[in-house]
Amino acid sequence: MRKNLGKAVALITASVMAVMSFSIDAQAAISTKDVLPATGISYALGTNVKALSELLTESESESESTSEESTNVEDAFDELGVETGLFVTDTNFAETASVVDASIIAPEVEPATPAQTESGKVIQDTIIVSRGYTEDLRAASGAQSSEEASFKNLVIAQVTNYVNVRDLPSEDGEIVGKLYNNSVGNFIEEENGWYKISSGSVEGYVKGEFCVTGVAAVDLARKVGTRIATVTTTTLYVREEPTTDSSVIGMVPIDDQLIVMEELDGWVKVNIEEGDGYVSTDYVTLSTEFVKAESKAEEEARLAKEAEARKAAQRAAASRSSSGSSSSRYVDTGNYAPAGSASGQNVVNFAMQFVGNPYVYGGTSLTNGCDCSGFVMSVYNNFGVSLPHSSSADRSVGATVGSLEEAQPGDILCYSGHVAIYAGNGQIVHASTSRTGIIVSSATYRSILSIRRIF
């Protein structure tokens, strides 16, 4: 009687399980590439994989033939070493579950020994995760492809000087701006061999034969674009190696921009005056910068600003000259022309007086110590020109100079986290490091980020 009662209970339990299994929606993968790895999970991988619903059906059949086999799903899985919590009951699986290629998430590992039932059937673990999590994974793994897609949408000028941007796709159209060589715009549409672009504040048409876009623009964009790390903390330490245990080789203030040389996991390699080093990505924001088009109005405003700056400097210089040399703030060494002229060469002559003086981080004193932007700021202040105490902000002052070949004495040369004054003949004068102080160097000792003209 007790034996028959046990069989009856087993049959009833199996029937209940059959009804319950109707709501279970699980999926078995057929290859290792369909499995989403997770920390702490041991996977049973095999080629003779069967769906969970099929295994449950076979389990029900076996439970009817013998009362000694377990009829509880969780107990059965426990015996196999599989956590039932990994399986999610969800009748809307297609909308919530995603499968991610294992090679994207983790490196290859030795396959785990397949978990089997007594009949030899392999159980394949499939983890169903939230849409948000899988989208994050896709975003991380597809960052490079996303960047490539955005670069394909760029229009890059390839000309000797510039290509005109017009308001109509025709040479009869009015010129609304200029897209200089290697400058970049965003592609909008094509019409009769003309590309409609948006670049900076300019929107209009450029002749397609003078530009590159689509697949051809991807590699070119990486060459003409500048990968920038902008500092987001008050003072950022630059270290010899990508670890917080490494020695500090230099410091960079907030909002300074550094050229990224290499991107690592949690760190970027950057170039500063003291040399190459690493900064944590927790304290910088990364971006790719391109030179954009200049509108007709912006060009006119720039030229007017340059003219006004020259006039202001001339007035300040005249005022200083009339007060007499005895009231000069700085002593003329006799080797260089004293302050009193608005020419770029006299800016250089004045700056050269302080070669050999110390470098002090955050300083602005030309005699007691200054940093790179403090040096440039203080030199130009002597000519009545107010400049920011920031090497990255100096990239926006004055007017753009296209190349070192076009640079003139007194121009400001901006580097990654550094700024200097062009002295002519391929040289610069600058407050370099605490070890060297204010020195004269070759202008090409590092990659030039920008050249600006004040006078």
pLDDT in tens, 339-391: 334 488 999 999 999 999 999 999 999 999 999 999 999 999 999 999 999 99
Which two three-digit tokens encode residue 139?
């975003």
Tokens 């400049």 -> residue: 387
Same domain, 219 and 229: no
Same domain, 329 and 212: no
| Total number of domains constituting the chain | 4
Residue 307 is predicted with a pLDDT of: 77
Q: Report how far residue 32's alpha carbon sits from residue 170's, in angstroms, rounded to the nearest whole number.
A: 56
Predicted confidence (pLDDT) per residue in 100-124, tens digit: 343 433 444 444 444 444 444 443 3
Name the residue type at position 335: N
Judge whether residue 131 has pLDDT over 70: no
Same domain, 212 and 110: no
Q: What is the mean pLDDT of residues 15-20?
A: 50
pLDDT range class, residue 164, cuts 50, 70, 90 = very high
Q: What is the mean pLDDT of residues 255-260?
A: 89
Same domain, 118 and 244: no
Label residues 78-100 b or e (16+ Cβ within 10 Å = b).
eeeebeeeebbeeeeeeeebbbb
Q: Report how far residue 204's alpha carbon sits from residue 101's, in angstroms, rounded to the nearest whole number.
A: 43
- When mean pLDDT is compared across 67-76, 381-390, 391-400, the lowest value belongs to 67-76
Q: Mention every residue, 6+ apart, whose C-beta is less than 8 A from residue 9.
A: none
Higher pLDDT, 268 or 273: 268
CATH at 274: 2.30.30.40
Residues found in the chain: 455
Residue 305 is predicted with a pLDDT of: 74
Same domain, 361 and 433: yes
Question: Among the three residues 242, 272, 289, which one is the final residue of a domain in this structure?
Answer: 289
- When mean pLDDT is compared across 45-54, 227-236, 397-406, the lowest value belongs to 45-54
- CA-based nearest residue to 257, from 291, 224, 232, 237: 232
Judge whether residue 57 has pLDDT over 70: no
Question: Among the three residues 118, 141, 164, which one is the final residue of a domain in this structure?
Answer: 141
Same domain, 51 and 80: yes
Same domain, 209 and 279: no
Same domain, 384 and 371: yes
CATH at 382: 3.90.1720.10
Same domain, 320 and 433: yes
- CA-based nearest residue to 398, from 370, 424, 419, 416: 419
Judge whether residue 66 has pLDDT over 60: no
Residues of the domain holding 211: 147-223
pLDDT range class, residue 38, cuts 50, 70, 90 = very low
Q: Report how far residue 163's alpha carbon sits from residue 294's, in angstroms, rounded to the nearest whole number.
A: 11
Question: Among the three residues 260, 289, 318, which one is the final residue of a domain in this structure?
Answer: 289
Same domain, 36 and 100: yes
Same domain, 61 and 181: no
Q: Report how far residue 261's alpha carbon sits from residue 278's, in angstroms, rounded to the nearest whole number.
A: 10
Residue 8 is predicted with a pLDDT of: 52
Same domain, 432 and 335: yes
Predicted confidence (pLDDT) per residue in 178-223, tens digit: 999 999 999 999 999 999 999 999 999 999 999 999 999 999 998 8
Helix (H, G, I), strand (E, B) or coil at 126: coil
pTM, to two decimals = 0.51
